[in-house]
Chain A
């Protein structure tokens, strides 16, 4: 380590130089960076209505969501990014039955599945970059 920073600063027993009042070379530096990332996702939805009769009506709808959403963007290396991969799937069936004009029943059945896992796009790739592994 170069200890020439921090003019007239004190050097500790560990050999680390602190910043002095006439420092021209700072001992510490800050790092600012702006890195790109983006959301890549598409949605597809559909609905079908059907009338069996004046007393029986039904419709079904579906929705599909695919893609990946950025959770964390690493300023050093995209290997350390975190993202959330879809899917999300939805389905619904709606059935209306008219017993009489004064007695009506409505039934709705629906199913939803979604994955909300936040993880590295490639969990094995970052490991070789650390001295522990």
Chain B
């Protein structure tokens, strides 16, 4: 391997920042609440069961804040010569974005007992 091999593009090769470091901050804050109700009723040979399940998530997503730290990439040759090839940085208007979603489910079932056996 020679040092003038410009096909190599080591990420964050010393002269700049670590691109991995530039991927952060990232993540989310999540508030989730859930309501579940189940009712069981026996009538003769029937056992009825029914219920509802509701869940809501309120998320503050920080994807937009990724890349707020500049990432510098350089080939080995350019690194040796003290120059950088690419500098990438994101400038988010808001670091977090609100996101909300919910799910709801209902069920009903009937168990029928044919005989005591």
Contacts and interface: CB of A to CB of B under 8 A. Distances in A.
A132 B27 contact: no
Contacts of A84: 27
A1 B79 CA distance: 11
B3 A18 contact: yes
Interface residues of B, number: 38
Contacts, number: 117
Interface residues of A, number: 41
B3 A106 contact: no
Contact of A130 (B4, B17, B80, B81): B17
Interface string B19-35: 01100111111111111
A119 B20 CA distance: 11
Given A105-B37, A132-B70, A82 B21 contact: yes
A116 B28 contact: yes
A116 B38 CA distance: 32
Interface in A80-129: 80, 82, 84, 102-120, 123, 126
14 contacts: A18-B3, A19-B1, A28-B3, A28-B76, A72-B21, A74-B18, A80-B18, A82-B21, A102-B43, A103-B39, A103-B41, A118-B26, A132-B16, A132-B17
